């Protein structure tokens, strides 16, 4: 997939981690927009996430294989959830379900997405998406507060019509808003690849 020659995110590497929420369909647009702006995008998906959007869709949009299995490697020394986060400039979890948020807040790592987050050597951005009553639950709010204290970047949620036919907070913010949040964070830093080249010259 060819990026726009004037793309402003050329050189940046991102990981987009998709978990099991209906808002996963919005993440297709997030990935497409980031790629069009020149960013390298690697998608990882939980098993639940694959019920909503297929890995093939994200592979077509990103131009890269999708990471779905913690145990599958592509080379003799490769550990995907470690290697990917070594080179990533940002990790986005979207949609981030109540379950995933709880696991990240508790430091658990039982799937490819939570392992990526736990091993991340870059900013982690989280876009919550859930029912309004789940979002209001005291346990969820404690977990979100923990993530903020741990330095995670929380974007959203918004308010509106939810898949459960309720109206209220919990809706994942729109793709364009997520992309702008990602861009704003990335542009605060140099791409790791550029930093490494600079170090090699000195």
Q: Which residue numbers are catalytic? A: 164
For the chain, what is the radius of gyration of the CA atoms?
A: 16
Residue 196: CB partners within 8 Å, gap ≥ 6? none
Number of alpha helices (DSSP H) and beta strands (DSSP E) in the chain: 9, 7
Q: To which residue do tokens 């658990």 refer?
A: 108
Q: Residue 194: count other Cβ atoms within 10 Å of its Cβ.
A: 13
φ and ψ of 134, to 5 deg: -65, -45
> Partners of 153 in the beta sheet?
125
> What dihedral do alpha carbons 83, 143, 66, 48 form, nearest 10°?
140
Cα–Cα dist 171/173, whole Å = 6
Cα–Cα dist 104/118, whole Å = 8
């Amino acid at each position: 997939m060819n990026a726009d020659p004037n793309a402003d995110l050329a050189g940046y590497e991102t990981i987009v981690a998709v978990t099991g929420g209906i808002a996963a369909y919005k993440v297709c647009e997030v990935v497409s927009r980031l790629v069009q702006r020149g960013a390298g995008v690697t998608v990882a998906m939980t098993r639940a996430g694959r019920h909503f959007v297929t890995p093939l869709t994200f592979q077509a949009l990103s131009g890269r294989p999708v990471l779905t299995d913690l145990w599958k490697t592509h080379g003799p020394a490769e550990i995907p959830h470690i290697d990917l986060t070594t080179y990533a400039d940002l990790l986005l979890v979207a949609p981030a379900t109540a379950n995933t948020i709880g696991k990240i807040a508790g430091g658990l790592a039982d799937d490819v997405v939570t392992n990526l987050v736990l091993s991340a050597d870059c900013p982690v951005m989280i876009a919550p998406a859930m029912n309004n009553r789940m979002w209001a639950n005291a346990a969820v709010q404690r977990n979100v507060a923990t993530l903020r204290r741990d330095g995670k970047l929380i974007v959203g949620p918004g308010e509106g019509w939810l898949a459960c036919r309720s109206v209220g907070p919990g809706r994942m913010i729109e793709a364009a808003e997520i992309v702008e949040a990602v861009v704003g964070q990335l542009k605060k830093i140099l791409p790791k690849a550029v930093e490494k080249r600079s170090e090699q010259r000195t």
